[in-house]
Amino acid sequence: MNMNIIDIDRWQEIWMTITRNKTRSLLTAFGVFWGIFMLVALIGGGNGLQNMMSRSFSGIATNSCFFMSQQTSEAYKGFRKGRYWNLEMNDIDILRSNIKEIEYITPILFGGWKDNNTVYGDKAYTAGVKGVLPEYEKIEAQKITYGRFINDMDVKEQRKVCFIGKRIYEALFNKGENPSGKFIRIDGIYYQVIGVAGDASDNISIGGNAEEMVVLPFSTMQMAYHAGNNVDLIGLTGKPDVPISRIQEQVETIIKQNHLIAPNDAQALFSMNMEKMFKQFDNLFLGIRLLIWIVGLGTLFAGIIGVSNIMMVTVRERTGEIGIRRAIGARPFDIMRQILSESMILTSIAGFLGISFAVLVLQVVNVGISSSADYDAGFQISFGVAAGTAVILMTLGTLAGLAPAFRAMSIKPIEAIREE
């Protein structure tokens, strides 16, 4: 019971010391509050930004690569510079047979984008058209809301079927209506709807936003759009643990040899290596996270230094009091414990208020962005980060009180009384 009374008295004394100079304590507490608020808010904001940018890559295989023909920039074997050429279907067979590291490969054709070229009843929509093989789903994953994606029988039998994007569905059909089996007219030809895509990535999509694309079997689009043997784009993925960059080099060499293009012509064959793009994305956010911690911890350290300075001033002002306590039997450990307690209480109260306010601000931002974007923006921190921040806060609060505590321990009773 006596121990409890002593503990209560000690905490009351600590609290009275902190509140003795309210202006000084408030200024010090605000420095810690602002530092921890900045750290948590920056971490949560970085998480939200990364989550939103990650959606731009959602669905695209990380080990994929795409190839498209362009004008040559070098004269070669009798062909002039600036020659136009096309990828062809036999390129697919040659690549399959010569590069065993390829797991999936598909030719891609593009069309559409004519005004109101997609019609159902009295409703119309301007859409892009894309012809692919079923393997395309392994390269750009499809979020299916209704029905299914293109299959092998659709390609083999040149079926007039289509897989439509989310926005096309919303423009042509009533909400909640299953369009599977319905016929729509695309560029003057009727196709049966076999499926509807769900939400797609906002920025990274092949040939246009997947939500605004009609996907046809490759053979059907060849026939309907008179594409012949030409291919607009070749997409492929490598087998697991095979760097796509190595496959990319082999593909470029084989295609250039097959179409009599100079080996050193960097312009003739455009390639988009998704593995490199993902690595650049990861490196970008690694730098952003590092910058966030540097700025956040720097701001927090500034607040902690302010706490240490204020505690030093407090110790100097209480020299007489500390000397008297030492004279009547207070141990050095008791003096040190009191100063450290004051430092930790001040930093803890301000710090936890800063964490709470930062989480509140992040939640408001997250709700606002998520409601307009129709997905969770992710402007929030995990429990682990919050706990880690609290540990950092407590550690720094203890460190902030060490110098003042040692200064208080070094005060000798006779010198303190003489100074008084």
Give the pLDDT of residue 155: 94
CB 165 within 8 A of CB 209: yes
Query: For the whole prediction, is pTM greater than 0.85?
Result: no
CB 60 within 8 A of CB 201: yes
CA neighbor of 396 nearest in space, from 311, 308, 291: 308
Give the pLDDT of residue 277: 82
Would you give per-residue pLDDT tens digits along the chain (420 residues)?
444 444 445 555 555 555 555 556 666 677 778 888 888 888 888 888 877 776 666 667 788 999 999 999 999 888 899 999 999 999 999 999 999 999 999 999 999 888 889 999 999 999 999 999 999 988 888 888 999 999 999 999 999 999 999 999 999 999 889 999 999 999 999 999 999 987 765 556 677 788 889 999 999 999 999 988 999 999 999 998 888 988 999 999 999 999 999 999 989 999 988 888 888 878 888 888 888 888 877 877 877 777 777 777 766 766 666 666 666 666 767 777 777 777 777 777 888 888 889 889 888 888 888 776 666 777 888 888 888 887 887 787 777 777 777 776 666 666 555 555
CA neighbor of 232 nearest in space, from 410, 68, 90: 68
Give the pLDDT of residue 3: 40
CB 214 within 8 A of CB 202: no
Give the pLDDT of residue 4: 45
Please give the Cα distance from 245 to 250 (Å, whole number).
Answer: 9
Please give the Cα distance from 87 to 94 (Å, whole number).
Answer: 12
Write down the H helix ranges in 318-331.
Answer: 319-327
Give the pLDDT of residue 182: 95
Give the pLDDT of residue 210: 83
Give the pLDDT of residue 40: 86
